[in-house]
Chains A and B, each alone.
Chain A
Amino acid sequence: MLSRTADNLYWLARYMERADFLARAIQASRRLAALPKAYGGDETEWESVLLSSGASLSFDASGRPVDEANVIEFLTFAPENPGSIRNCLEQARANARAVRTALTIEMWESINDAYLEMRALESRGVVPCAEELARFLEVIKQTSLTYDGGAYRTMLRNDAYWFSRVGLFIERADNTARLLDVKYHVLLPEKEIVGGSLDYFQWSAILRAVSAHTAYHWVYRTSMKPWLVADLLILRPEMPRSLISCYESIVRNLDNLARAHGRQGVSQRHARGVYGKLEKLNMESVFQGGLHEFVQSFISENNRLAALISEQYLF
């Protein structure tokens, strides 16, 4: 496969995953921000969603006050935010268009439909109303489901598929890690006791953001506990968003590539290394060393993998 095609597919998958994550993060934050103050309803929620999406620097640069309307606008439609849903979708479509030959019709149509919908919404007015926004976020989530389902059900299992999957899981691992980091360190005020009601709703919002609320109860059969949420999102292989699950998939897809190309390389070795570390890890040692430190080091290892992949395959 052309290196450029591989690169485009990889980034296409990342942009789609990122758009989905943003939509979910916004929805979760709205839910949290709508709570009474005593339960955690507070504007800090909007700061945290900016942080977890990696957009806080560019938002600060815009000079706007942090409030619900501003943040949502910035994360959804703002053309000046390179990481807005709008720009993710536009980038995804540009990548998809460049590699249409490597996509199935279902995949292309799901992206193109969402893009057309977005353009229609944009052309109607300046600021979409709350209802339109909610609908748009649903469309984005739906699109990522259809796209993902389309890939899963219609793509040949060849390098096009494997590069897409690798992109998706690298992005997903990054998103999960950021989510954990931000919630744990920024949101919880000093005086708040771990396990208090504020804590409860915040952790619960994290789980909702990634559609893991029910999963938590199935796995642990107990009330919300921060270290268990962290356990679920880091170490539980049965949880499809957990870091370990993402790495299991990354290793498998990179191995498929290596087999097809007849050689293992730096990216395979690095991914296996990260996966191996996660396998040996337990939550006690994570908390001892500090969750924040753990997450930071994971994020940089994950970025390192992305760099190694482009070095190995994308020239």
Chain B
Amino acid sequence: MDSRITQFDELAGADGRTRAPYRKLSQWLAETPPELLASRREQAELLFRRIGITFAVYGAQEATERLIPFDILPRILSRSEWTTLEKGLIQRVTALNAFLADIYGAGEILRAGIVPADIVYRNPAYCPEMAGRRVPFDIYVHIAGVDIVRTDDQGFFVLEDNARTPSGVSYMLENREVMMRLFPELFALHRVAPIENYPDELLATLRSVAPQRANGDPTIVLMTPGQYNSAFYEHSFLADKLGVELVEGRDLFVRDDVVYMRTTEGPRRVDVIYRRIDDDFLDPLCFRPDSALGVAGLMGAYQSGNVTLANAVGAGAADDKAMYTYMPDIIQFYLGEAPLLQNVQTFRCRETEALTYVLDHLDELVVKEVNGSGGYGMLVGPHATRAQIEEFRAKLKAHPEIFIAQPTLALSTCPIAMASGVAPRHVDLRPFVLQGANGARVVPGGLTRVAMTEKSLVVNSSQGGGTKDTWVIDDAWSAEEAMGQA
């Protein structure tokens, strides 16, 4: 391992002694010839390509379908680490839902002065059409992907809440399947908590929020923008695992505020739509009239309570980066609890003092547009050129309110297997939180994203980041150690 790495390495720990969850993996790595790793890497690539686990890249004519680089070494969390994380995630999503119900309802948090009203109402993701309406069980965010990072073994930080249509869960599931095919011996060594029940949990969540009239047997569909969408593989994969129809806008129509799908047996009524298409494209009568992806009249059916949309329309108001900065206060306000997961320190550029600080420290900070996503519209200060920094300075001065800034974190690293051997790379983690009428749940794991290039902090797949399997293993070593000491 490279000793110059100053960041916290999840395998090596801060002091260079292998951390407990990684002991078996570390030993196995020491005993495994490099040729074996190389051949498994090739097999993994072949498997992904054959199964067709790809994502589409916009604008790239030649390679419209790409493989996301996959690393064959698992990222390992201990059960006790996971338990902390899980509690924090559920707390967070519970608060997000309470917050959304409030800002589309009574607006108590605004009146209490905790969150400035203009941040909510001027947020492009805030949906005025939803104001004053209730959604089934007051759940707005049924599926959340919360991006988590760590800088040491003292805890986790939330980098971002994704409350619209978080993607990546198919990679979490497929990564595990591929790993089980490639490394049966590693699974025999570890007891890895299963995640394969995610589709069942998702289905139960979607069923639980169906309109009353479905009488416990709702027709559920998954709505995709179509096969040219970057996450189409995931959409079809999930529909398959859920056993529901994968529909496009043109497969649906609305009559008398009821949604139907066109089937070979005639129209069939639809009760729950797990939509993987943004608010703006849902209904050309209500939102963008130029959109051919949606269904005319869908919002009418939704507002009449004849169909449930997951996630709810307007849920994106909670995952804006400006809102993120208020999450600790939001948790405190609705739940009366201290947040279990910390936010990353964040400067709101709309506040004069913060802006002054940010402008003075641009070369140390990561500056993000509050509505940007996927690594676009951001400045990574320490890696930026003089010119890029000056360009951003101008943008910031012109529209400080659309930016936030965060210190560049010393993100933890995990080992990856490369042609040249094993080396540490920065990672983050996206666990998927489900919230239905029957409670919240998280399958033990998530999508670990890896920056494939050395020192890079960019883990987004659209920017060349990769993924690896995430294992939650029992803290069995502590028992073994205890026995060893006895």
Would you give the 0/1 interface string for A249-260, flagging 1 where the beta carbon is closer than 8 Å to chain B? 000000001000
B250 touches A4 (CB 8 A): yes
Rounded to whole angstroms, the CA-CA distance of A116 and B48 in the bound complex is 13
Please name all residues of chain B whose beta carbon is closer than 8 Å to the beta carbon of A1 when the two chains form the complex. 245, 263-265
Tell me if A307 is interfacial: C-beta within 8 Å of chain B: no
Instruction: Give the interface residue-count category, chain A.
Output: 20 to 34
Rounded to whole angstroms, the CA-CA distance of A100 and B233 in the bound complex is 9
Q: Contacting A109 at CB < 8 Å: which of B50, B227, B245?
A: B50
Rounded to whole angstroms, the CA-CA distance of A311 and B265 in the bound complex is 12
B227 touches A2 (CB 8 A): no
Q: Contacting A94 at CB < 8 Å: which of B227, B248, B250, B264?
A: B227
Tell me if A108 is interfacial: C-beta within 8 Å of chain B: yes
Tell me if B247 is interfacial: C-beta within 8 Å of chain A: yes
A113 touches B240 (CB 8 A): no
Rounded to whole angstroms, the CA-CA distance of A1 and B246 in the bound complex is 10
A101-B251 contact given A112-B52, A116-B49, CB 8 Å threshold: no
Tell me if A148 is interfacial: C-beta within 8 Å of chain B: no
B483 to chain A, nearest CB (A): 45
A4 touches B262 (CB 8 A): yes
Rounded to whole angstroms, the CA-CA distance of A4 and B264 in the bound complex is 9
Would you give the 0/1 interface string for A1-32, flagging 1 where the beta carbon is closer than 8 Å to chain B? 11111100000000000000000000000000
Interface of B is mostly: mixed
B52 touches A2 (CB 8 A): no
A97 touches B251 (CB 8 A): no
A4-B251 contact given A94-B227, A101-B246, A313-B264, CB 8 Å threshold: yes
Please name all residues of chain A whose beta carbon is closer than 8 Å to the beta carbon of B236 when the two chains form the complex. 97, 100-101
Tell me if B261 is interfacial: C-beta within 8 Å of chain A: yes
A2-B265 contact given A100-B240, A112-B52, A116-B49, CB 8 Å threshold: no
B263 touches A2 (CB 8 A): yes
- Identify which of residues 230-265 in chain A touch chain B, using a CB-to-CB cut-off of 8 Å: 257, 261
A159 touches B264 (CB 8 A): yes
Please name all residues of chain A whose beta carbon is closer than 8 Å to the beta carbon of B237 when the two chains form the complex. 100
B351 to chain A, nearest CB (A): 48
Tell me if B434 is interfacial: C-beta within 8 Å of chain A: no
B264 touches A261 (CB 8 A): yes
A3-B50 contact given A97-B227, A101-B240, A261-B264, CB 8 Å threshold: no
Tell me if B429 is interfacial: C-beta within 8 Å of chain A: no
Please name all residues of chain B whose beta carbon is closer than 8 Å to the beta carbon of A109 when the two chains form the complex. 50-51
CB closest residue in chain A, given B65:
A97
Q: Contacting B251 at CB < 8 Å: which of A2, A261, A313?
A: A2
Tell me if A186 is interfacial: C-beta within 8 Å of chain B: no
Rounded to whole angstroms, the CA-CA distance of A11 and B245 in the bound complex is 19
CB closest residue in chain B, given A112:
B52
A256 to chain B, nearest CB (A): 12
Tell me if A35 is interfacial: C-beta within 8 Å of chain B: no
Q: Contacting A2 at CB < 8 Å: which of B49, B226, B232, B262?
A: B262
Rounded to whole angstroms, the CA-CA distance of A290 and B265 in the bound complex is 41
A3-B251 contact given A101-B239, A101-B240, CB 8 Å threshold: yes
Would you give the 0/1 interface string for B238-257, flagging 1 where the beta carbon is closer than 8 Å to chain A? 01100001111011000000
A261-B265 contact given A112-B52, A116-B49, CB 8 Å threshold: yes
Please name all residues of chain B whose beta carbon is closer than 8 Å to the beta carbon of A98 when the two chains form the complex. 226-227
CB closest residue in chain A, given B237:
A100
Q: Report how many residues on chain B are interfacial, defined by Cβ distance under 8 Å.
A: 22
Q: How many A-B residue pairs have CB under 8 A?
A: 53
Please name all residues of chain B whose beta carbon is closer than 8 Å to the beta carbon of A163 when the two chains form the complex. 264
Please name all residues of chain A whose beta carbon is closer than 8 Å to the beta carbon of B52 when the two chains form the complex. 97, 100, 108, 112
- Identify which of residues 291-315 in chain A touch chain B, using a CB-to-CB cut-off of 8 Å: 313-315
CB closest residue in chain A, given B50:
A109
Q: Contacting B247 at CB < 8 Å: which of A2, A6, A94, A112?
A: A2
CB closest residue in chain B, given A115:
B52
A125 to chain B, nearest CB (A): 17
Rounded to whole angstroms, the CA-CA distance of A313 and B240 in the bound complex is 22
Rounded to whole angstroms, the CA-CA distance of A261 and B52 in the bound complex is 33
CB closest residue in chain A, given B244:
A101
A6 touches B264 (CB 8 A): yes
A292 to chain B, nearest CB (A): 36
Rounded to whole angstroms, the CA-CA distance of A6 and B265 in the bound complex is 11
Please name all residues of chain B whose beta carbon is closer than 8 Å to the beta carbon of A112 when the two chains form the complex. 50, 52
Rounded to whole angstroms, the CA-CA distance of A315 and B250 in the bound complex is 12
B482 to chain A, nearest CB (A): 45
B245 touches A2 (CB 8 A): yes
Rounded to whole angstroms, the CA-CA distance of A290 and B227 in the bound complex is 47
Would you give the 0/1 interface string for B351-390, flagging 1 where the beta carbon is closer than 8 Å to chain A? 0000000000000000000000000000000000000000
CB closest residue in chain B, given A313:
B264
- Identify which of residues 258-278 in chain B touch chain A, using a CB-to-CB cut-off of 8 Å: 261-265
Rounded to whole angstroms, the CA-CA distance of A109 and B236 in the bound complex is 15
CB closest residue in chain B, given A111:
B52
Rounded to whole angstroms, the CA-CA distance of A257 and B263 in the bound complex is 13
A315 touches B227 (CB 8 A): no
Rounded to whole angstroms, the CA-CA distance of A111 and B263 in the bound complex is 26
A3 touches B263 (CB 8 A): yes
Rounded to whole angstroms, the CA-CA distance of A116 and B227 in the bound complex is 18
Rounded to whole angstroms, the CA-CA distance of A315 and B52 in the bound complex is 30
A13 to chain B, nearest CB (A): 15
A4 touches B248 (CB 8 A): yes
A237 to chain B, nearest CB (A): 29
Rounded to whole angstroms, the CA-CA distance of A108 and B247 in the bound complex is 19
B263 to chain A, nearest CB (A): 6
- Identify which of residues 160-188 in chain A touch chain B, using a CB-to-CB cut-off of 8 Å: 163
A8 to chain B, nearest CB (A): 10
CB closest residue in chain B, given A100:
B236
User: Which B residues have a C-beta under 8 Å from some C-beta of A?
Assistant: 49-52, 226-227, 232, 236-237, 239-240, 245-248, 250-251, 261-265
A-B contact pairs, 6 of them (CB 8 A): A1-B245, A2-B264, A3-B264, A6-B264, A98-B227, A261-B265
9 additional contacts, CB 8 Å, given A3-B264, A98-B227?
A: A2-B247, A2-B251, A4-B248, A101-B236, A101-B240, A105-B51, A112-B50, A261-B265, A314-B264
Q: Enumerate the 7 nearest inter-chain pairs by beta-carbon distance, A residue then B residue, closest first.
A: A101-B240, A313-B264, A100-B236, A3-B262, A6-B264, A261-B265, A101-B239
